Structure 1
């Protein structure tokens, strides 16, 4: 993936995390925050943005997993 594409993905994930923070209990973004890399940090390296994307995705999906466990939601994979 090119750096520009990675920065775009970083921005999209940041919007998703903002949505969760406003409409849910929030997400655990401590790892992401500690990196100090934002979608607007275009001077940062591709590797820095990649680490930020993974940390952001981990925080978002961690919240989704916790929500599904709490509500007992059955996924398609579990139904098979």
Structure 2
């Protein structure tokens, strides 16, 4: 995958995170991602840096979504 494609994927994952946090009214814990200091707009960072960021962000998102599905859902009367 080319660097430009990784940056695009990184941007898309950041948008997914923002949308998920808004819809689920939660915050995705992603300390590893934050520690990397690589944002989708950090075009000066290396391809490897963006690759690590993509994996860290994807991992944080999937962990948050897995926790949400593991929680018991309250039954509501319609």
Category of TM-score, reference length = shorter chain: 0.7 to 0.9
Structure 2 length as normaliser, TM-score?
0.85
Residues 1:31 and 2:1 aligned together: no
Structure 1, unaligned stretches of length 5 or more? Answer: 73-80
Q: How many residues align?
A: 72
Measured on the aligned residues, the alpha-carbon RMSD in Å equals: 1.2
In structure 2, the partner of 1:65 is: 66
Equivalent position SS for 2:71: helix
Greater helix content: 1
Structure 2, unaligned stretches of length 5 or more? Answer: 74-78
